[in-house]
Amino acid sequence: MRPSHFNDFQNKKINYQVFGQMLPYLFEFKLRVGLALMCLVLAKIAGVSLPFVLKHIVDNLNISDVQAQMLAVPLGLLIAYGGIRFLNTIIGEVRDTLFGRVTERAMRRMGLQVFEHLHALDIDFHLSRQTGGIARDIDRGTSGISFLMRFLVFNIGPTLLEIAIVTGLFFYHYGWPFALVIVVAVSAYVGYSVLATEWRTQYVRQAAKADSSSSTRAIDSLLNYETVKYFNNEAYEASRYDTALADWEQAKRKNRLSLFVLNAGQAFVIATAMTLMMVMAGYDVAKGNMTIGDFVLVNAFMMQLFMPLNFLGFVYREIKGSLANIEHMFELLKRQPKVVDVEKPFDLPLASGRIEFKSVDFYYQPERKILNQVSFNVEPGQKVAIVGESGSGKSTLVKLLFRFYSLSGGQILVDGLDISQISMQSLRKQIAIVPQDTVLFNDTLLENIRYGRPDANDDEVAQAIKMAHLDNFINKLPKGTDTLVGERGLKLSGGEKQRVAIARAILKGSPVLVFDEATSALDSESEKAILQAFKAVAKGHTSLVIAHRLSTITDADHIIVMKSGEVVEQGNHQALLSKDGYYAQMWRLQQ
């Protein structure tokens, strides 16, 4: 995601459609949600009854005769007060336990949906993404989903219901002045909270942006650890990271100060309302219109009312913050891949391996073509090599064959079927590749090789290791195939990583094999052994070899020579040498 993206929607309204998108996750467990709501209602009934029980206890205690007090105070009332308070707490715990499953499943579903969506996006997105920032956006987004589901259902709705009940009770028992104080106080509190929170949301967003930026900076630097060391740029990287942290510190300071303004205003409204209510209640007690129990009841109700109301302010702030945090995640979900399957794609059966490139054009911008009218055929069982200068478009052909990009013109056919009409899953299942730049998972050697076919058994993995000439190397390792390769395979040399990639491709067992500069990092002895393995593996397979060293493809059935995105020569090794053209010139330079 480009860095300016956060600024693009800083001035946008919060996307309240998020709530609608959450409903399917909420209703997956209808029974649990129903039971949780029932517990909520019971807890509220118990909560409202507590001040009334307290009032009667105080009124019965307010008798001058000690003996009369002991007789008048009903023991059952005291027990009932403790029982109701305990029940109120237990019902809340049961409610949270019931609804916890709903929120946890929603987080799981949403996390999986985003993960699958990211894998479905085109390669352009992944070439320009900022991994650290995306990871933080997803983490904050899924946490925000949990917060919204829990607090919307169990805090905002119930708090508003309790305010309405308490206002009605005060109006009925003590008259309209008491009810009016509650209505005005609540309205002032909510109004101030909304306005102040709207104002400070910009600082929440700035803090989130700075947090993502600093995380991205740190992860990017650590992923390029060796490059940092090669160029002695530790201090430079530390300076850049500190600059990002300084932006974060500044954003958090503004966020904290704006929170102080919000909390101070809320506290003032609460203090004013409670003071006014106590003065009115004290005056009525003095006049004999209220008992001491009534005074205690009013105080208890005001405390009980403003505690969730104060929490309502916190919840509203957090909801605004959560919505701001998950905007990035939903922006990701809205992003559509540029390369998609047609509505009813074909499933490619076990391919014979015939590949045709017919007048293929490809460009990012029309004025600068990467490939121009590229045409050639690869027959089943053939070994076809593609050679040419750097930047001639050799590796781009492989990306187009895998449908990482859509063609700008022409067709690519596999077994006579246009690949644009074939499902990408079934197409890629038929092709195994040894890429030029092999990146491994931070796992064991065994699991990195097994990644070619996760359901392969140990014997099949061992055979692939042997064919890739990895067995001697693995036997020298203290932990053998259980050796961890490190982040992106940094603990292995370039040649070792490529041999792991070769074993992985062998294990996949696809009818079409692609080798993209697969021996470029190997020494001469290893290269010779790998080439022999290629010959053994390629028997009965169609193989497409992208090569820089021409000595590795002299046995190819057909050689495609490319220059500036065009095919300039075709033929086998001897035929191309006899033409004394561009290929022959490359051969002489390398010899």
For the chain, the residue count is 591
pLDDT at 401: 92
| Band (1; pLDDT cuts 50, 70, 90) | very low
- Nearest alpha-carbon partner for 461 in 511, 500, 514, 516: 500
Q: Domain 5-334: give its CATH superfamily.
A: ABC transporter type 1, transmembrane domain (1.20.1560.10)
pLDDT at 54: 63
For strand 542-546 and strand 512-516, is the pairing parallel, antiparallel, or unpaired?
A: parallel
Q: What is the pLDDT of residues 283-333, one digit of tens each?
A: 877 887 777 777 777 777 777 777 766 666 567 767 766 776 677 677 777
Q: Which two tokens stand for residue 103?
A: 């929120």
In SS3 terms, 533-569 reads as: HHHHHHCCCEEEEECCCHHHCCCCCEEEEEECCEEEE
Q: What is the pLDDT of residues 492-534, one digit of tens each?
A: 777 778 888 888 888 888 888 888 876 665 666 666 766 776 7
Kindly tell me if the per-residue pLDDT of 62 is higher than 70: no
* Measured CA angle at 225 (ends 221, 227), to 5 deg: 100
Burial tier of 93 (Cβ tally within 10 Å: 0-12, 13-18, 19+): exposed
User: If you average pLDDT over residues 265-275, what whole number do you get?
Assistant: 85
Higher pLDDT, 399 or 123: 399
Kindly report the average pLDDT of the chain as a whole number: 78
Lowest-pLDDT choice from 64-68, 148-152, 265-269, 489-493:
64-68
The residue to which tokens 């593996």 are assigned = 537
The Cα 444–Cα 440 span in angstroms is 10
| Band (53; pLDDT cuts 50, 70, 90) | low
Q: CA 163 → CA 47, 185, 301, 428, 486, distances in Å?
A: 12, 11, 10, 60, 58
The one-character DSSP state at 348 is P
Other residues' Cβ atoms within 10 Å of the Cβ of residue 148:
21
Q: What is the pLDDT of residues 347-394, one digit of tens each?
A: 877 767 889 999 999 988 777 888 999 999 998 888 899 998 888 888
Higher pLDDT, 324 or 579: 579
The Cα 320–Cα 334 span in angstroms is 20
Q: What is the pLDDT of residues 203-241, one digit of tens each?
A: 877 887 888 888 888 888 888 888 888 888 888 889 988
pLDDT over 90 percentage in the chain? 7
433 contacts 514 by C-beta, under 8 angstroms = yes
- Nearest alpha-carbon partner for 237 in 249, 225, 250, 251: 225
The Cα 153–Cα 323 span in angstroms is 16
Q: CA 512 → CA 378, 407, 415, 545, 546, distances in Å?
A: 10, 20, 11, 11, 14
For the beta sheet containing 431-434, the strands, ordered from the edge strand earlier in sequence to the opposite edge, are 431-434, 512-516, 542-546, 383-388, 558-563, 566-571
Kindly tell me if the per-residue pLDDT of 566 is higher than 60: yes
User: Where does residue 175 fall: left (phi above 0), alpha (psi -120 to 50 degrees), or beta otherwise?
Assistant: left
Q: Give the domain ranges of the chain.
A: 5-334, 355-590
Kindly tell me if the per-residue pLDDT of 70 is higher than 60: no
CATH number, domain 355-590: 3.40.50.300
Fold agreement (5-334, 355-590): no
In SS3 terms, 349-371 reads as: CCCCCCEEEEEEEEEEECCEEEE
